[in-house]
Amino acid sequence: MAFGRHETFALRYGWLSKGFNALVQSKKGARVFDDDNATVELGVGKNMVTSIKYWLRACQMTDVATGEPTELGLALLGEEGFDPYLEDEATIWLLHWLLVTNTALATSWYWFFNRYHKAEFTGQELATALKDFVYDQVIAKKKPASTTLKNDAGLLTRMYTQSKGNTRMPLEDALDSPFSLLNLVSQSAGGRSYQSRPQARPEIPVGVLGYAVCQLFKAKNTSVIPIEDLMYSRDDYVAPGSVFRLTESSLVTKLEELVAYMPQVFEIRDTAGQHQLFMQETTNGMKFIEKHYEHSQEERAA
């Protein structure tokens, strides 16, 4: 588990592209972020360089251990990548999934979308709940400081809500994170509370859901998963229904679309009164990503 590695900076537009380009173009590899010239090359302050390095790893664009580009990172953000400048909203949904499922580096994000199910809450309630989770679940000699956890909770809501245009806020801080586009968290009119409720969300691309479901099948090393386990996190596994804040009925609808999206991969069956999703042939989740961007590029060309 990890907390507070972001230097209190939310992920901003352009950071992943900028950091990834610097990484792949430099002969220094992952050490480019530790170089004395990193601030000049990236055009940001020293703490922001550290934050960019963190967000690349947290979003699984670079390897958690080595810092080198991942296969998916190259496929998305590489020179010939599908969407190096995050112009397709599907990329934001995919990055959201990759961030929230990265329990090693984005533990607070994993907890919020998989374990915290309160539909309306204040910033203080969120920070207290995170602290309770960490102090109850984290087995370590040294627990993270309360301030660190409070910063994580505050940054999480800031990243997923759209700014209200506070004129007293510095311009850099007022720039919304790309995740604010997803409307997964909203702020009340008075700004005193937040909401994060399950909704239908028809805008979630089927290809991204397919990738997510394939990852869960791989993690569980199984060929069948109860649909209930795709809705609610069980035994520390992530659940697409929770991560994407879907209602139960909308998850079933999306899974039916998924079955039709790439025939012969998935099938929904009713076994002994329990709805289950079967994987009929082992499939790499990247096939779903590739299919989405191929269709997206065809639509743009048309």
273 and 189 in a common domain? no
pLDDT band at 141 (very low <50, low <70, confident <90, very high): low
| Domain assignment present for 8 | no
Higher local confidence (pLDDT), 72 or 274? 72
172 and 294 in a common domain? no
25 closest CA partner among 15, 34, 14, 17: 17
149 and 27 in a common domain? yes
125 and 157 in a common domain? yes
Q: What is the DSSP string of 219-253?
A: HHT-SEEEHHHHHS--TT---HHHHTTB-HHHHHH
| Domain assignment present for 10 | no
- Last residue of some domain: 145, 162, 195? 195
Domains held by the chain: number: 2
182 and 88 in a common domain? yes
Q: Give residue for tokens 């998850």.
A: 251
- Which ranges of 2-106 would DSSP assign to H, the alpha helix? 15-25, 38-42, 46-58, 71-77, 89-100
User: What order do you get walking across the sheet with 266-271 strand by strand?
Assistant: 224-226, 274-279, 266-271
Distance CA 154, CA 176 (A): 14
| Domain assignment present for 35 | yes
- Last residue of some domain: 136, 170, 195? 195
191 and 64 in a common domain? yes
pLDDT tens digits for range 124-135: 999 999 999 998
| Domain assignment present for 177 | yes
The parent domain of residue 112 ranges over 15-195
147 and 274 in a common domain? no
Structure tokens at 48: 């922001």
Q: What is the mean pLDDT of the chain?
A: 90
173 and 216 in a common domain? no
Distance CA 132, CA 123 (A): 14
Structure tokens at 204: 């979630």
C-alpha torsion angle, residues 43, 61, 175, 14 (rounded to 10)? 50
CATH code of the domain in which 212 resides: 1.10.10.10
- Last residue of some domain: 166, 195, 224? 195
Q: What was the pLDDT predicted at 173?
A: 47
Name, in order, each residue with C-beta under 8 angstroms of 241's C-beta and a sequence gap of 6 or more.
198, 230, 231, 232, 248, 251
246 and 146 in a common domain? no
pLDDT tens digits for range 6-41: 888 999 989 999 999 989 888 777 788 888 888 888
pLDDT tens digits for range 92-113: 999 999 999 999 999 999 999 9
